[in-house]
C-alpha cells in the first residue's frame, strides 16, 4: 500500500491555523510555558500519589507493606513490557502521520491499534496469571526471604487485572495528546490516587486484622485492599472516555495490522527487549532486598518513588516538551541542532536536579522521619528509609542523563542502541547488588547500599550512552554543559553543607527529633533556606540557564510588584549565529528558539507514572474558636492568664479590694464588662462555629498555650488530668504539662464567678496547684507557670530527666535504695502540707524516679480530695511499689487500699494476705528490713498507722542510716581501744543528721552549649570552611559531653553504671562456661521474623539481633506464640545457668532444652528457666538438674514496648554454663 501524500488539514473549531513557518500565536509560546502546563498536572498527581504511598506505609507497615509493593509493581511492569513503552516511543509518531495522511484522520488506524492492544493486553494478563506463582516464588518465596510469599501471591491475583487498564489508559492518553487534548490524561492518575486513598482509609477502619497465617482469599480486608486498588486503575482508563467521544474518536474493533506499523516492527522488538532487560534487573535485585529484611522491597521501591517526585515534576515535563523538537531535528538530519537540543535539555535538567540531590543527600534521614514516621512506620524504620534516600539520591543525575540520551537515540530511529545502555545498567546493578550482602551483615545497610548500586549502575549507563553519542554525532563541544554542571554542583554543595551545619548545631535540630510534625517543620525550613540561597547565588553568578528560568517568574511577580519585573530589551535580539561559533559560550537565545513550538507538535505521550507520589499532610490544622474571631472585642470566655514562679506567693486571684488571706473564702474571677447579645457593640455570632468550648487536640507535635509549648510525649493521666512532656519554644527547654479538663467538658465560669479553693472545678484545681510553687524540694517538679483557658488550663512544671515508677520498680532495687528514693518525696509532701497544700499522690503516672534516684511528683495537679492523709497513703504506695513492683491503691481515685489481679500503669495490683489486706513486703521478700517494711504497711493503714509525711521521712532516714556508715566513717581496727568504738558509732548518726540537714539542690544534666552567634552570611569560601570547622567542633563537643550522674550509696542504679543501663544483680554461676558453635531462628509461623545479625548473639558484636516490630501488644500482635533462638553447643552438657544480655526491659524469656537439632514444635522442648529481662546482663540459674543436650532454645514469649506502639525485643549476647 503506497503512502498518500501529506495534505493540509483545516483547523478544527476552536483552534488557530498556522502555516509551516509562521508563529504559533494560538499555541504554546515557549518551552517553559509548555513545561509548566504539564508540570501542574504532574505535580498534583504526584502529591496525591505520594500521600497514598505514605498511607500505605503507615497503615500496612512491615511485611504487608513489602508484599503489597511487590505485588503492585507486577501489573505495571507487564503493561510496560508489552505495550506502554512501545506506545510512547513508536506508535505516537505513526498515529500523528495517520491523522495527517488518512482521509478519516486516523480513525481506522486507531481502531486497529485499539483492537491489537486489547488482544495483547488480554493475552498478557492470562499468561501473567499462569506464571505468577513462579514469579512470586522467585521474588519473595526463597528460603532466606523475609517477605510473606502467600500474601504476595494473593495480592498478585487481585492486582494483575490492572495491567489491561494501565495499557488502555496509556493508549487513550496518547491518542488524546495527538489531538492537543492534554488534561484528561494528565489528571486521570489523580482520580486513581483518590480512590486508592479511600481504599486505604476503608481498610484501616474495617474491624479485625488481615489474616496472615494462613492467607485466605476470602478475607474481607484483603479483598478491599486488592480490589479497591484495581478499581482506581479502572477509573484511570474510563475517565478519559468522555474526552475521546468529544474528540470524535470511536472505540470500535477492527482487525488487521496497518502497514505503517509493520515498518516499525523491528523498533518495537528492540524496545520490548530494552524493557525486558530492565525488568530482568529488577527481578534479580528484589530477592536480595527481600532476604535483607522484611521491609527491604518496600524501602527499596519507595525510596525510588521519593526521588521520582522532583524528577517527575521537572525532568519528565521538560523532556516531554523537548521531544518534538528533537524528533524534528533528528528527522532532518541536523546533527548540530540535535547537539544544541541535547545541550539545552542537559543544562536545564542539571540546574533543576543538582540542588535537589545535594539536599536529599544531606537531609535524607530527616526526609524519612518527616514523610514516613506515621502509623505502623516506627522511627527506626523511617530513619532507615531516610538513610537509604541519602545513599541513593545521587542516582537522579545519571538517571536523567540516561533518559536524555535515550530520547536522542529514539528520535534518530536507532532503537537498538539503548539496548546496549540498559545492558550496562542491568549488569552493573545486578553484580553490585549481589556483592553487597557478601561484605555487609546488617540487613538495613544492605538495602541502603542497593540504592547506591543502582546509582552506580546508571552512572555506567550514562558513560556508555555518552560514548555511543560521540560515535554517532561526532565530537560534541559541550563546554557550556560542563560549566553549568560545575557551577551548580559547587554552589549546591557549599550551601547545603553550610545549612546542614547551622541547622545541626542550632536549637532547630531538636525539632527534627520531636516527631513527624517537628521533622516536617525542620525539613521545610532547611529546604526553603537551602533552595533560596542556591538559586540566589546562581543568579548572582549570572548563570544564564538560571536567569532564563527566573525570568518568567519575575514577570509573573512583576504584575504585583513592578520592581521585580525584568527590564525590557533595548534592541531586538540578534539573529542566531551558527552553532559552531557559539558552542563555547552561553546563549540565552537558545531558550527563545523553543518559542516556535506549536501546540500540535507537542505530541509525545506524557510518561505515565504508575506510582504517583506527593507530600504528606503538613500537620495539625488549627480550628478557630468563636472567641478567637473576636480579637477586637475579647470576652471572658477565653482567657490565657499566666502566673510565673516568682508570683506564686500570691493567691491566684484578682482582688478589686484588699488582699485576702490565703485559702480563705471564695476568690472572684476578674471580669470585663461586655454588652449583652443584641445590644450595640455585642459580638455577632459567627456562622459555622458552635458555642461549645473545644479542647486542644493533644497529639505529639501539637502546639498549645498560644504556640508556647510543643507536645512531645504522653505520660498518662487520671481523673480529667493529662500528663505530657513538652518543649518550651520561647525558652528552648523541656517542661512537664498537666492538662486540667483538657477536653473542656466543664462549663465556662460566668462573669464575676468566684473560685473556691475547695471546689472541684478546673479553676479550683489550678488555684490549689499554684500554691505548690512555694515548695522547693527534690521530691517535687517545680511549678513554673499556670495557663488558664476558658474552662480548664495547664500546669507548667520543670521537666527532670527521669524514668517511670513501673520501669524502675521492674529493676527490683534494694530496699535501702527504695527508702532513700521515697524519702525525698516525703520531704516534698511535708513542705506542701506546711504551705497549706497537698501533692495528690494518687497514681503511678504522677511519680517518676530521677537520674539521681529520687522519687518526685513529676506532674503537679492538686485535686479536691487531696489531703495530708491521702498523701501519706500515697507515699506508702510508692514505697510498696518499689519494694514489690505492685500498686496497693485503686486506679480510679488512689484513695482506697485494694488488692487484685489487674494492673495500674504497668504495675500489678497488690496481692492479698489472709485478712484481705495487701501482703506485707517483708512477708513477700524476707531480705527487706523490718523498719522499711513497717513504714510501707503502716502508711497504708491511714488513721491507725503513720499519719504525717514528716514521720515517714524521719523513719526512712533512720532505716537508711545503716547503709551510710561505711561511707562516712573510717574503718576501725580490731585492736583499737574499746573506748574509741562507741565514739565512732555515735558519730555516724550525728554526721548523717548533719548531712541530711543541708539542702541538696537537684542535680541537673549538663549539656553542651551551642553557639548563639553563628554567621549567616556567606562571604567567601574560606569563611564557610571556618564556619564548618567551628560547627563540627561544637557538635562533637556536645555529643561527647558527659552527664553528671554519679550514684550515691544505696542508689537505685548500681555504682559505676549509668541510669540508662540498669543491670540485674549478678547470680552466682555453677559449672563451667560452654562454647556455642551455631545459632538459628526458631519461628513456627509462615511470616517469619528477621534473622539478620542473628550470629552476633554468640559474640556480642554490634549490631544486635532483634525481633520484628509488632503493633498490637507484647504477644507478637496475636500472630504467633513466640520466637526463639536455637543455639548449638560444642558438646552435650547439663545446663546449670548462663546470661542473657539485652536492653529490652520487660521482655519475658524461657530457656528450653531440646534433644533434636531441628525443632518442629515448641512442645518438643523442656523449660529449664523462665523470667523477665532487665536492662543489661541477666544472669540465670537452673535450679533443677537439666537433661544433657547440645541444643538450647532461648524462647521469647513477650515483647518490650519501645516507643509509641512499637513492640520488639533485642538480644545482644547469650552465654551458658553447664556440667
Task: Parse the chain into domains and list their residue ranges.
Answer: 60-263, 638-651+697-748+755-915, 1072-1218
What are the pLDDT digits (tens) for 1048-1067?
Answer: 334 454 433 333 333 333 33
Report residue 1176's pLDDT band, with 50, 70 and 90 as the boundaries. confident
What are the pLDDT digits (tens) for 1113-1169?
Answer: 777 766 778 888 888 888 888 888 888 988 888 888 889 888 877 787 888 888 888
In angstroms, the CA 1136 to CA 773 distance is 56
In angstroms, the CA 233 to CA 189 distance is 8
In angstroms, the CA 435 to CA 457 distance is 13
At 1077 the three-state DSSP class reads strand
Above pLDDT 90, what percent of the chain? Answer: 1
Mean pLDDT computed over 677-687: 41
Q: What is the homologous superfamily of the domain 1072-1218 according to CATH? A: Galactose-binding domain-like (2.60.120.260)
In angstroms, the CA 990 to CA 996 distance is 10
Is residue 845 within 8 Å of 715, Cβ to Cβ? yes
pLDDT on residue 835:
81
Residues 6 or more apart from 242 whose CB is under 8 A from it? 184
- The class (CATH top level) of 638-651+697-748+755-915 is mainly alpha
Closest CA to 1168 of 1182, 1154, 1179, 1180: 1182
Two domains, one topology: 638-651+697-748+755-915 and 1072-1218 = no
Report residue 67's pLDDT band, with 50, 70 and 90 as the boundaries. confident
In angstroms, the CA 388 to CA 382 distance is 10
Closest CA to 956 of 818, 852, 777: 818
Mean pLDDT computed over 287-315: 78
**pLDDT of 191 above 60:** yes
In sequence order, what DSSP letters do the residues of 383-415 get, joined into one string? HHHHHHHHHHGGGHHHHHHHHHHHHHHHHTT-T
What are the pLDDT digits (tens) for 487-532?
Answer: 888 899 999 998 888 888 877 777 877 777 888 888 888 888 888 8
In angstroms, the CA 1120 to CA 1197 distance is 9
At 544 the three-state DSSP class reads helix
Strands in 855-857's sheet, in edge-to-edge order, are: 802-804, 847-850, 855-857
Residues 6 or more apart from 993 whose CB is under 8 A from it? none
Report residue 85's pLDDT band, with 50, 70 and 90 as the boundaries. low
Report residue 975's pLDDT band, with 50, 70 and 90 as the boundaries. very low
Q: Cβ atoms within 10 A of the Cβ of 876, count?
A: 28
In angstroms, the CA 939 to CA 1127 distance is 49
Report residue 593's pLDDT band, with 50, 70 and 90 as the boundaries. very low
CA within 13 Å, CB half, 262: 5
In sequence order, what DSSP letters do the residues of 455-509 get, joined into one string? HHHHHHHHHHHHHHHHHHH-----HHHHHHHHHHHHHHHHHHHHHHHHHHHSTTH
908-920 burial, b at 16+ Cβ within 10 Å, e below that, comes to: bbbeeeeeebbbb
Is residue 884 within 8 Å of 811, Cβ to Cβ? no
Helices (H) and strands (E) in the chain, counts: 37, 27
Is residue 304 within 8 Å of 396, Cβ to Cβ? no
Is this model's pTM higher than 0.85 or not? no
Query: Which one is predicted more confidently, 1005 or 508?
Result: 508
Task: Estimate to the nearest angstrom the gap between the alpha carbon of 1002 and the chain centroid.
Answer: 35
In sequence order, what DSSP letters do the residues of 122-189 get, joined into one string? HHHHHHHHHHHHHHHHHHH-STT--S-HHHHHHHHHHHTTHHHHHHHHHHHHHHHHHTT--HHHHHHH
C-alpha cell at 661: 488571706
What are the pLDDT digits (tens) for 921-932?
Answer: 888 888 888 888
Is residue 313 within 8 Å of 468, Cβ to Cβ? no
pLDDT on residue 91:
62
395-422 burial, b at 16+ Cβ within 10 Å, e below that, comes to: bbbbbbbbbbbbbbbbbbeebebbbbbb
Q: Give the residues across from 797 on adjacent strands.
A: 736, 783
Is residue 441 within 8 Å of 1092, Cβ to Cβ? yes
CA within 13 Å, CB half, 718: 21
**Residue that has been written with the C-alpha cell 528509609 in this structure:** 385
55, 291, 378, 1091 from 294: Cα distances, Å: 18, 7, 14, 10
Maximum separation of any 2 CA atoms in the chain, in Å? 130
In angstroms, the CA 110 to CA 1125 distance is 62
Report residue 565's pLDDT band, with 50, 70 and 90 as the boundaries. low
Is residue 1135 within 8 Å of 1186, Cβ to Cβ? yes
In angstroms, the CA 672 to CA 634 distance is 9
**pLDDT of 1011 above 50:** no
In angstroms, the CA 885 to CA 1174 distance is 13
Mean pLDDT computed over 480-485: 79
pLDDT on residue 411:
67
Phi first, then psi, for residue 29 (nearest 5°) are -95, -10
pLDDT on residue 960:
67
pLDDT on residue 159:
87
**pLDDT of 1045 above 50:** no
Report residue 1001's pLDDT band, with 50, 70 and 90 as the boundaries. very low
pLDDT on residue 1037:
44
In angstroms, the CA 743 to CA 763 distance is 14
Q: From the CA atom positions of the chain, what is the Rg in Å?
A: 36
Helix (H) or strand (E) holding 578: none
Report residue 589's pLDDT band, with 50, 70 and 90 as the boundaries. very low
Query: Which one is predicted more confidently, 596 or 241?
Result: 241
Is residue 848 within 8 Å of 804, Cβ to Cβ? yes
pLDDT on residue 211:
60
Amino acid at each position: 500500500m503506497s503512502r498518500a501524500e501529506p495534505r493540509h488539514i483545516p483547523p478544527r473549531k476552536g483552534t488557530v491555523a498556522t502555516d509551516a513557518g509562521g508563529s504559533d500565536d494560538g499555541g504554546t509560546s515557549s518551552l517553559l510555558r509548555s513545561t509548566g502546563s504539564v508540570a501542574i498536572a504532574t505535580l498534583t498527581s504526584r502529591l496525591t500519589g505520594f500521600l497514598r504511598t505514605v498511607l500505605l506505609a503507615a497503615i500496612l507497615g512491615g511485611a504487608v507493606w513489602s508484599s503489597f509493593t511487590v505485588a503492585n509493581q507486577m501489573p505495571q511492569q507487564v503493561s510496560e513490557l508489552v505495550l506502554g513503552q512501545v506506545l510512547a516511543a513508536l506508535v505516537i509518531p505513526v498515529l500523528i502521520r495517520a491523522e495527517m495522511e488518512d482521509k478519516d484522520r486516523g480513525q481506522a488506524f486507531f481502531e486497529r491499534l485499539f483492537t491489537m492492544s486489547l488482544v495483547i493486553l488480554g493475552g498478557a494478563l492470562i499468561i501473567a496469571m499462569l506464571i505468577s506463582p513462579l514469579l512470586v516464588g522467585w521474588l519473595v518465596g526463597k528460603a532466606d526471604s523475609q517477605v510473606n510469599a502467600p500474601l504476595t501471591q494473593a495480592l498478585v491475583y487481585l492486582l494483575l487485572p490492572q495491567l489491561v487498564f494501565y495499557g488502555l489508559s496509556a493508549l487513550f492518553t496518547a491518542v488524546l495528546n495527538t489531538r492537543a487534548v492534554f488534561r484528561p490524561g494528565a489528571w486521570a492518575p489523580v482520580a486513581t490516587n483518590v480512590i486508592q486513598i479511600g481504599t486505604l482509609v476503608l481498610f484501616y477502619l474495617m474491624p479485625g486484622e488481615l489474616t496472615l497465617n494462613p492467607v485466605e482469599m476470602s478475607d474481607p480486608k484483603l479483598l478491599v485492599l486488592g480490589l479497591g486498588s484495581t478499581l482506581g486503575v479502572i477509573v484511570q482508563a474510563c475517565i478519559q472516555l468522555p474526552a475521546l467521544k468529544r474528540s470524535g474518536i470511536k472505540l470500535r474493533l477492527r482487525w488487521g495490522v496497518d502497514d505503517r506499523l509493520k515498518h516499525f516492527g523491528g523498533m518495537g522488538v528492540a524496545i520490548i527487549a530494552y524493557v525486558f532487560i530492565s525488568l530482568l534487573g529488577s527481578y534479580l535485585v528484589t530477592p536480595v532486598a527481600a532476604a535483607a529484611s522484611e521491609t527491604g522491597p518496600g524501602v527499596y521501591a519507595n525510596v525510588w518513588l521519593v526521588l521520582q517526585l522532583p524528577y517527575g515534576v521537572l525532568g519528565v515535563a521538560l523532556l516531554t516538551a523537548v521531544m518534538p523538537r528533537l524528533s524534528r531535528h533528528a528527522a532532518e538530519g541536523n546533527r548540530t541542532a540535535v547537539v544544541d537540543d541535547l545541550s539545552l535539555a542537559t543544562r536545564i535538567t542539571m540546574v533543576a536536579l543538582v540542588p535537589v540531590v545535594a539536599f536529599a543527600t544531606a537531609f535524607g534521614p530527616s526526609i524519612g522521619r518527616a514523610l514516613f514516621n506515621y502509623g505502623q512506620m516506627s522511627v527506626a524504620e523511617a530513619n532507615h528509609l531516610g538513610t537509604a534516600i541519602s545513599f541513593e539520591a545521587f542516582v537522579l543525575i545519571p538517571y536523567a542523563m540516561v533518559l536524555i540520551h535515550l530520547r536522542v537515540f529514539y528520535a534518530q530511529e536507532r532503537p537498538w542502541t539503548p539496548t546496549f545502555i540498559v545492558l550496562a545498567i542491568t549488569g552493573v546493578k545486578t553484580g553490585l547488588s549481589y556483592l553487597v550482602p557478601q561484605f555487609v551483615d546488617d540487613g538495613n545497610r544492605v538495602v541502603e547500599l542497593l540504592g547506591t548500586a543502582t546509582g552506580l549502575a546508571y552512572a555506567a549507563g550514562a558513560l556508555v550512552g555518552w560514548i555511543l553519542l560521540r560515535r554517532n554525532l561526532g565530537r560534541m563541544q559541550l563546554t557550556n554543559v560542563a560549566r553549568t554542571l560545575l557551577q551548580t554542583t559547587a554552589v549546591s554543595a557549599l550551601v547545603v553543607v553550610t545549612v546542614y551545619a547551622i541547622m545541626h548545631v542550632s536549637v532547630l535540630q531538636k525539632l527534627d527529633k520531636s516527631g513527624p510534625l517537628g521533622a516536617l517543620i525542620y525539613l521545610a525550613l532547611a529546604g526553603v533556606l537551602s533552595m533560596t540561597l542556591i538559586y540566589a547565588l546562581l543568579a548572582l553568578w549570572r548563570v544564564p540557564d538560571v536567569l532564563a528560568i527566573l525570568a518568567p517568574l519575575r514577570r509573573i511577580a512583576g504584575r504585583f510588584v513592578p520592581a521585580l519585573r525584568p527590564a525590557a530589551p533595548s534592541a531586538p535580539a540578534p539573529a542566531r549565529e551558527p552553532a559552531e561559533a557559539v558552542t563555547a559560550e552561553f546563549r540565552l537565545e537558545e531558550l527563545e528558539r523553543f518559542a516556535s513550538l506549536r501546540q500540535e507538535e507537542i505530541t509525545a505521550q506524557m510518561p505515565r507514572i504508575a506510582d504517583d507520589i506527593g507530600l504528606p499532610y503538613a500537620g495539625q490544622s488549627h480550628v478557630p474558636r468563636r472567641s478567637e474571631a473576636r480579637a477586637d472585642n475579647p470576652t471572658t470566655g477565653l482567657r490565657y492568664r499566666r502566673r510565673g514562679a516568682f508570683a506564686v506567693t500570691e493567691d491566684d486571684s484578682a482582688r478589686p479590694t484588699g488582699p485576702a488571706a490565703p485559702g480563705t473564702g471564695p476568690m472572684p474571677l476578674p471580669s470585663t464588662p461586655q454588652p449583652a447579645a443584641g445590644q450595640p457593640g455585642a459580638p455577632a455570632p459567627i456562622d459555622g462555629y458552635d458555642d461549645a468550648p473545644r479542647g486542644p487536640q493533644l497529639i505529639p507535635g501539637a502546639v498549645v498555650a498560644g504556640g508556647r509549648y510543643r507536645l512531645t510525649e504522653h505520660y498518662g493521666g487520671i481523673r480529667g488530668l493529662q500528663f505530657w512532656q513538652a518543649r518550651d519554644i520561647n525558652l528552648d527547654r523541656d517542661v512537664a504539662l498537666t492538662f486540667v479538663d483538657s477536653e473542656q467538658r466543664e462549663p465556662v465560669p460566668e462573669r464575676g464567678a468566684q473560685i473556691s479553693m475547695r471546689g472541684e472545678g478546673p479553676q479550683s484545681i489550678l488555684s490549689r496547684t499554684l500554691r505548690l510553687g512555694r515548695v522547693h524540694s527534690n521530691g517535687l517538679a517545680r511549678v513554673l507557670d499556670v495557663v488558664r483557658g476558658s474552662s480548664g488550663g495547664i500546669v507548667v512544671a520543670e521537666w527532670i530527666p527521669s524514668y517511670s515508677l513501673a520501669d524502675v520498680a521492674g529493676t527490683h532495687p534494694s530496699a535501702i535504695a527504695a527508702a532513700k528514693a521515697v524519702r525525698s518525696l516525703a520531704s516534698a509532701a511535708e513542705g506542701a502540707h506546711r504551705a497549706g497544700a497537698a501533692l495528690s499522690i494518687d497514681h503511678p503516672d504522677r511519680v517518676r524516679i530521677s537520674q539521681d534516684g529520687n522519687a518526685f511528683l513529676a506532674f503537679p495537679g492538686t485535686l479536691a480530695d487531696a489531703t495530708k492523709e491521702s498523701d501519706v497513703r500515697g507515699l506508702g504506695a510508692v514505697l510498696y511499689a518499689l519494694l514489690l513492683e505492685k500498686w496497693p491503691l485503686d486506679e480510679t481515685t488512689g484513695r482506697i487500699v485494694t488488692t487484685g489481679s489487674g494492673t495500674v500503669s504497668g504495675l500489678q495490683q497488690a496481692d492479698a494476705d489472709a485478712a484481705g489486706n495487701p501482703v506485707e513486703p517483708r512477708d513477700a521478700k524476707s531480705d527487706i528490713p523490718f523498719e522499711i517494711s513497717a513504714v510501707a504497711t503502716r502508711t497504708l493503714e491511714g488513721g491507725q498507722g503513720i499519719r504525717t509525711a514528716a514521720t515517714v521521712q524521719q523513719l526512712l532516714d533512720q532505716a537508711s542510716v545503716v547503709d551510710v556508715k561505711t561511707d562516712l566513717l573510717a574503718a576501725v581496727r580490731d585492736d583499737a581501744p574499746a573506748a574509741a568504738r562507741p565514739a565512732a558509732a555515735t558519730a555516724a548518726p550525728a554526721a548523717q543528721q548533719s548531712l541530711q540537714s543541708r539542702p541538696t539542690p537537684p542535680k541537673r544534666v549538663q549539656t553542651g552549649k551551642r553557639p548563639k552567634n553563628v554567621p549567616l552570611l556567606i562571604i567567601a569560601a574560606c569563611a564557610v570552611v571556618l564556619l564548618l570547622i567551628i560547627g563540627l567542633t561544637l557538635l562533637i563537643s556536645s555529643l561527647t559531653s558527659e552527664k553528671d550522674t554519679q550514684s550515691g550509696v544505696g542508689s537505685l542504679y548500681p555504682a559505676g553504671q549509668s541510669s540508662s543501663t540498669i543491670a540485674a544483680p549478678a547470680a552466682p554461676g555453677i559449672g563451667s562456661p560452654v562454647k556455642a558453635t551455631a545459632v538459628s531462628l526458631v519461628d513456627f509461623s509462615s511470616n517469619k521474623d528477621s534473622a539478620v545479625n542473628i550470629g552476633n548473639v554468640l559474640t556480642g558484636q554490634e549490631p544486635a539481633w532483634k525481633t520484628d516490630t509488632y503493633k498490637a501488644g507484647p504477644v507478637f500482635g496475636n500472630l504467633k506464640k513466640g520466637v526463639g533462638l536455637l543455639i548449638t553447643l560444642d558438646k552435650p552438657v547439663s545446663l546449670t545457668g548462663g546470661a542473657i544480655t539485652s536492653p529490652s526491659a520487660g521482655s519475658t524469656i524461657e530457656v528450653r532444652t531440646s534433644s533434636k537439632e531441628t525443632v518442629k514444635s515448641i512442645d518438643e522442648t523442656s523449660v529449664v528457666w523462665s523470667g523477665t529481662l532487665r536492662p543489661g546482663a541477666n544472669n540465670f540459674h537452673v535450679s533443677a538438674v537439666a537433661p544433657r543436650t547440645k541444643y538450647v532454645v532461648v524462647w521469647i514469649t513477650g515483647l518490650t514496648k519501645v516507643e509509641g506502639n512499637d513492640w520488639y525485643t533485642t538480644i545482644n549476647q547469650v552465654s551458658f554454663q553447664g556440667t
